[in-house]
Amino acid sequence: MKRPSARAAVLGLLLVWSPVTWGLVTFVSPATFERVYARDLGPRIAQAIGRVTGVVPFSVAQALGLPLAVGLVVVLGAGLVRTGRLQRLRRWGPVLLAAASVSYGTGMAVWGFNYRREPILGRFAFPAGPSTRAEVAALGAWALEAMNEARTHVLEDEAGVFRLPAGVADAFARAVEAYGRAGVDRPWLAGDYAPPKPIWGSELASWIGIGGIYVPYTAEPHVNVAAPVSGLPFTACHEVAHQRSVAREDEANFVGFLVAWEHGDADFRYSAMLRAAAYVVSAWQQFDGEASWAAWEGRSAAVERDLVVQRAWYAAHESPIKDASEKVNHAYLKSNGVRDGTESYGRMVDLLVAWRR
C-alpha cells in the first residue's frame, strides 16, 4: 500500500481544522463558550496577538494581508498555467480547500467562537424583559434631549460642524483610555490590547460601505477616517468592543455606546448619543411615526449641521459596490448565527431600554 506523501498528509491535517471548529460551534453549549472561551481563553488570545500588532502604528492586517493575497494569486495562477485541467483540479483544488479551512478555523479559534457566547445582558445587572412601546418612546425623548445637551459641550470648525479636539490619533488613544476607565468596574472591558488604527484607503472603504472593521487574525480594530468625524469616537468604541470578545453587532453597539457615554470625554459622549438617538427614534417610528417625527424635529441646529455632513457623505458614496458589500456582511452575520443579519445593529435599542431601567 502506497504511503501518503508529506504534502498529502499536511493538506489532510489542514482540511480537518475547519470541520473540527464547525463541530465545536454546533455541539458545544453557549454556557460552555461563555465560561471557557469568552471570559478566559478568547481575551488571552486577543491580548497576546495585540501585544505584537499593537507595537506598530499602522495596520498589520493590511500590511500583511495584501501581499499574501497577491502572492497566493500569483502562485496559483502560475501553477494553473503550467498544468492541464485535470491536473489543476487534483493539485490545486485541495490546496484551495486547505487554505479556506485554515482561514475559517483560525478565525473561529482566535475570535469567532464569541458568536456562540451567551447574551451579553447577563454580564450586567440590568432588569431583563422585552421593551414596551412606552419605554421606547420615553427612551427616545430622553435620548434626543441628551443629544442636544451633549452637543453644547463639543468643539466646532469654522463652518459650525463638530470637530475632534486633537485629531484622529488622539481620539483613538482616548478610546483605549475610556475602556480602561470602564474596566475599573467591569474588568472584562479592560486589558492590554492593540489600539484602534486607521483603515488604509479609507476613501475606498467609504465606497464599499465600511465605517470600521475588526480583524481577529491580528486583533486590530480599524476605523474609516474618511467618514464624518462626528461618528468616529462611537465607531472606535464599537470596534474595540469587538476586540473585547463582543461579537454580535447590537451588543458591540451597546457596549461601545456605554463606554463612550459613561467614561468618555465630551466628544465621545456626543458621538455615542448621536448614534443611539438615531436607532431609538427609528424604533419609535415603527409604532408612532407622528410622535417620533415631532420629537426628532426638536434636534438642535448644531446637531442638524453635523447630520447634514453625514447625509452628504452617505449620498456621495452610494454605489453598487456598497450594496454588494452590505449583502456580504448580512450573509456573514447570518452564517454566524445572527438570524436577522445586518438588521441586528438596531437591536441595540432593547439593551438601551434595559440600561435605562
User: What's the pLDDT tens digit per position in 189-219?
Assistant: 999 999 999 999 999 999 998 999 999 999 9
Same domain, 191 and 291: yes
In this predicted model, which residue has the larger pLDDT, 27 or 307? Answer: 307
Do residues 217 and 46 lie in contact, with contact meaning Cβ atoms separated by under 8 Å? Answer: no
In this predicted model, which residue has the larger pLDDT, 91 or 32? Answer: 32
In this prediction, residue 310 carries a pLDDT of: 97
Same domain, 85 and 232: no
Same domain, 63 and 77: yes
**Residue owning grid cell 492586517:** 61
**Does 190 map to a domain?**
yes
* Domain edge (last residue) among 71, 92, 116: 116
Domain count, the chain: 2
Do residues 221 and 255 lie in contact, with contact meaning Cβ atoms separated by under 8 Å? Answer: no
* Domain edge (last residue) among 116, 148, 169: 116
Same domain, 235 and 281: yes
Which residues lie across from 138 on neighbouring strands? none
How many whole angstroms separate alpha carbon 249 and alpha carbon 8? 40
**Does 204 map to a domain?**
yes
Q: In which element (H, E) is residue 233 found?
A: helix 232-243
* Domain edge (last residue) among 100, 116, 132: 116
Same domain, 323 and 346: yes
Same domain, 226 and 292: yes
Same domain, 97 and 215: no
Least confident of 6-20, 67-81, 85-99, 259-273: 6-20
How many whole angstroms separate alpha carbon 212 and alpha carbon 236? 8
How many whole angstroms separate alpha carbon 123 and alpha carbon 264? 21
**Does 1 map to a domain?**
no
Same domain, 136 and 110: no
For 240-256, the pLDDT digits (tens) are 999 999 999 999 999 99
Q: How confident is the model at residue 31 (pLDDT cuts 50, 70, 90)?
A: very high
Q: Is 288 helix (H, G, I), strand (E, B) or coil?
A: coil
| Domain range enclosing 64 | 6-116
How many whole angstroms separate alpha carbon 185 and alpha carbon 85? 61
Q: How confident is the model at residue 341 (pLDDT cuts 50, 70, 90)?
A: very low
Same domain, 184 and 319: yes
Same domain, 222 and 207: yes
In this prediction the pTM is 0.86
Supply φ then ψ for residue 109, to 5 degrees.
Answer: -65, -40
Residue 75 corresponds to which cell in the numbers above?
502562485
**Does 167 map to a domain?**
yes
